[in-house]
Each structure stands twice: as structure tokens, then as C-alpha cells.
Amino acid sequence: MHIDIISIQPGLLESPFQHSIMKRASDKGLLSIAIHDLRPFGLGKYKQIDDYQYGGGAGMVMMCEPLSNCIESLQQEKKYDEVIYMTPDGGTLNQSMANQLSLSQSLLIICGHYKGIDQRIRDMYVTKEISIGDYVLSGGELAAAVLVDSIGRLLPGVLNDGSSALSDSFQDNLLAPPVYTRPAEFKGAKVPDILLSGHEAKIDAWRYEQSIERTKRLRPDLLGE
């Protein structure tokens, strides 16, 4: 999969993809990410990219021309499955959205700043608007990093244990069961006997029960309750 990201703060996106699972994904050639600085597409001597909003009101708006020129120059090179705009008024990111996007070949993500981008860019180019939660960040970069991480770890071959993404919380709309590692007893607290029993079917059943119990207690909304 290839992901292009348009940003006015490219430095904010450098670190998240250079560590851990995202780094492994790119080292293995399973995911390539290119960050494109919008500034060189800015207008005039000062490479302007934002302007006051029509109708008045506080906050600047990212202008049409720089974004349009940047998007179109990328579209000349690639056909995108989705052109995504990170915005607090988009649909809230969830596991099924990440699963679906992980099937794409190529994505373009636009990070907004200030009051956001001119509506005409949304109307003309954007095919999907995504929020990472009901709060406002100072820009779309951190949201884009969250989105790319949630997608990248699902690509076949990225995680060492191929089945591990499937047992995450939210796959099947259930929270994951509790997990334990050595030692079997820590400060008097013991690992549940069933996990030491070696009985695979009983362990699976116990994990499923725990998932249901946790989901009912902590996130009943996931069960439609």
C-alpha cells in the first residue's frame, strides 16, 4: 500500500512512521508513506496558503489554489482509492473503517489547519472525511498518524503473528480479554488457572466469556445495549 500525506507541518509526521510496527511495515516494503509539504504550492513571494474567511469570523482558511495544485500534481502520478480529509466533523474512525481502508492500494490524506480547508476543495476532491474523536486538534497531522497506524498494522505480513490483529479489541465489536505474562504469581496475584491449563478449547471459551463480560461492563454501547 502507498499513502501520500499533504501537510503544512511535515515535521510533525516524521517520527511516528519511523518506529516500531510502522517502520517494520516500510522496511518490509508493505507500506510506503510520502509526506508532501504544501508550502511550496503557496501563492506569491510569501508562499501564502491561508486567508481570511468570507463573511467574517475568527480564524484563517486554507486556500483552494495551493491544495488544488498539490492534489492534482499527485493525481497525475497516481490513482487514489480514497482522498481523505482529516477533520473533526468527519465520520468517527473505528475498527471497521480501518479494516476497510486497509484493503486499498493507494490513499491520499489531507491534513487541515486553522479553521480548515475551503469547502470547494472538500466538494471537488475529497471522497472521505475522517475524525479521530469529538475534540479539536490543532491540525490534522496527529489524526493522520493515528489513521495510518490503525491501517498499517492490518496489512498482511506487518504483524509477526498474523492472527494477532484479529484478536484486538473492536474486531467483532468486542473488547479484548485480559492478558498475562510471566511470572505466574506477582505480589500474591495469580494468573487465572485456566490460562496455565494448556487446554486450548477451554482457554478460547474463557477468553470469549471475558470479552463479553468486559464489553458489557465497560462499553455496553458496542453491544447495542
Which residues lie near ligand ADE (CB under 6 A)?
Answer: 86-88, 112, 131-133, 135-137, 140, 143
- Min. distance of Cβ 156 from ligand ADE in angstroms? 27
Q: Give whichever of 77 and 134 is closer to ligand ADE, judged by the CB atom.
A: 134
Cell of 210: 471475558
Residue 121 or 159: the one with the smaller Cβ distance to ligand ADE is: 121
Grid coordinates of 96? 471497521
**Beta-bridge partners for 186:** 189
Question: At its nearest, how many Å lie between ligand ADE and the CB of residue 6?
Answer: 13
Strand order in the sheet with 32-37: 32-37, 2-7, 106-111, 82-92, 128-131
C-beta closer to ligand ADE: residue 131 or 211: 131
Eight-class DSSP state of 132: S
Least distance CB 140 / ligand ADE (angstroms): 4
Residues 6+ positions from 35 with CB-CB distance below 8 Å: 5, 7, 10, 13, 14
The C-alpha atoms of residue 52 and residue 43 are separated, in whole angstroms, by 15
Residue 201: CB minimum distance to ligand ADE, A = 42
Minimum CB–partner distance for residue 87 and ligand ADE (Å): 5
174 Cβ neighbours under 8 A, 6+ residues apart: 211, 212, 214, 215, 222
- As measured in angstroms, the least distance from the Cβ of 85 to ligand ADE is 8
Residue closest to ligand ADE, measured at CB:
143
Q: What's the number of CA atoms in the CB half-sphere (13 Å) around residue 159?
A: 15
CA gyration radius for the chain?
A: 22
Nearer Cβ to ligand ADE (105/127): 127
**Which of 145/165 has CB closer to ligand ADE?**
145
CA distance 209 to 214: 9
Select 66 or 140, whichever has its Cβ closest to ligand ADE.
140
